[in-house]
Amino acid sequence: MLDMWHNLLSGTPWQDILSAKEIPGLPPLPDGWTVETLLLVVIGVPAALLLLHFVRVILIYLYGRKYRALRALNRACEFDNGIKTRYEYKVRLNSRKQLERYDFERFFLDEYGRNPHAFGAILESASNNDKKYRRYKAEVEQLLGVKPGEAVRVRFFDPLQVKICKRHLRKPITSPVFHCTAEYTSPKGKNHYSRTADYTVKQMEGVAKQYRKNVDFQASKAYQRSLMTDSLRYDIMKRDNFRCVLCGRTAREGVKLHVDHIVPVAKGGLTVPDNLRTLCDQCNLGKSDKYDPHGAN
């Protein structure tokens, strides 16, 4: 190989340069060395080491036990990749006062209500990813002997393989952030003001809970109203002797009788005899949904 090389160079100026025993301006070379020897050491040795490194990397990719086990683990782990790390919302307001008073909790509650299924799916994916990622991290730790995220100490045993494995760890989205910017720009765009809020998965779960509570309450209100049947209405009036319980008048005296919820349905009142009473239309007038626990009504 070297002979071929020498034949190739013979007769060219390179031959003289490579076979020189000293380099002008530099300290003398060791005994028996030529410029060629020097180049072999300076370029050839690092090149050989680099080649060796690549051979090791390729062998690890092909046969590394840990690397192959990690790839199998990665394939088996079904993280949900359909969610984003950040969800952005923007609200434009009409005055600074509105901006100062802006209720982000209310915003997220409304936003959640617009599409509870989509929000629910994001929160569920995040929490599933979180659970799966905990298990994944534990398995990786067992497999590699290092925690994901921990720096690999380069010792003699297997450090290259562990290092390569760490480049192939999976990192699912476990904690998306819901970011809302509320802003107000003064007329002619002179001044710009804004406030922001970042909601975590946990906070959004609180919003979801509140939303479900509201929905349940709406449903229960509708249900309570549906319990008010003609038959029950008759029973209550009969119990109250077909008289207004406040003024004592009857239908014969020209008033119209109603059955009234003492604690209004909208305030959580139930359609049960204890919470029902007979009122005339005049006593009932203007009372709708008002409830004073200490007053006459």
Does residue 283 contact residue 262 with C-beta atoms inside 8 Å?
no
The answer to whether 244 contacts Zn ion (rule: CB under 5 A) is yes
CA dihedral 74, 75, 77, 80 (to 10 degrees): 110
| Other CB atoms within 10 Å distance of the CB of residue 246 | 17
Neighbours of 33 (CB within 10 A): 14
**Which one of 31-39, 43-51, 150-158, 236-244 is the stretch in contact with Zn ion (CB under 5 A)?**
236-244
CB of 260 to Zn ion, least distance (A): 10
Q: How far is the CB of 245 from Zn ion (least distance, A)?
A: 8
Q: How far apart are CA 108 and CA 199, in angstroms?
A: 9
Sole window of 73-81, 173-181, 216-224, 241-249 interacting with Zn ion (rule: CB under 5 A): 241-249
Q: Which is nearer to Zn ion, 177 or 246 (CB)?
A: 246
| Residue among 236 and 280 whose Cβ is closer to Zn ion | 280
- What x/- string results for residues 245 through 264 when contact with Zn ion is judged by CB under 5 A? -xx-----------------
N- to C-terminal Cα distance for the chain? 111
Residues 267-286 within binding reach of Zn ion (CB under 5 A): 280, 283
The closest of 265, 288, 267, 272 to 229, measured between CA atoms, is 272
User: Residue 256 Cβ, how far from Zn ion at the closest point, in Å?
Assistant: 10
Does position 122 bind Zn ion by CB under 5 A?
A: no
Query: In terms of Cα–Cα distance, which of 266, 294, 264 is closest to 279?
Result: 264
Size of the site for Zn ion (CB under 5 A): 5
Q: Which is nearer to Zn ion, 33 or 291 (CB)?
A: 291
Return phi, psi of residue 229, to 5°.
-95, 165
Note the residues at the interface with Zn ion (CB under 5 A).
244, 246-247, 280, 283
